[in-house]
């Protein structure tokens, strides 16, 4: 597990996940908030490399 994964897991650990199933009856654990946190963390990492 890389540093990026550890950071994202810590940031999203307390975000509640509503119970939802996809068409194959698999639970959807990824919400819009989770996606936003991952995107922001990635952009922040990239921005810091440019400085």
Query: Can you tell me the distance from the alpha carbon of 49 to that of 42, in angstroms, rounded to the nearest whole number?
Result: 11
pLDDT at 3: 81
Please give the tally of structural domains in the chain.
1
Q: Mind listing the pLDDT tens digit of every residue in the chain (51 residues)? A: 578 788 888 988 999 989 999 999 999 988 999 999 989 988 887 677 655
- pTM of this prediction? 0.70
Domain that holds residue 15: 3-50
Nearest by Cα to 18 from 6, 5, 33, 8: 33
- The torsion defined by the Cα of 14, 16, 20 and 24, in degrees rounded to 10, comes to -10
pLDDT at 36: 92
């Amino acid at each position: 597990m890389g540093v990026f994964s550890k950071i994202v897991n810590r940031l999203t650990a307390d975000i509640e996940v509503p119970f939802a199933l996809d068409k194959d009856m698999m639970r959807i654990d990824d919400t819009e908030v989770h996606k936003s946190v991952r995107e922001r963390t990635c952009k922040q990492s990239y921005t810091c490399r440019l400085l």
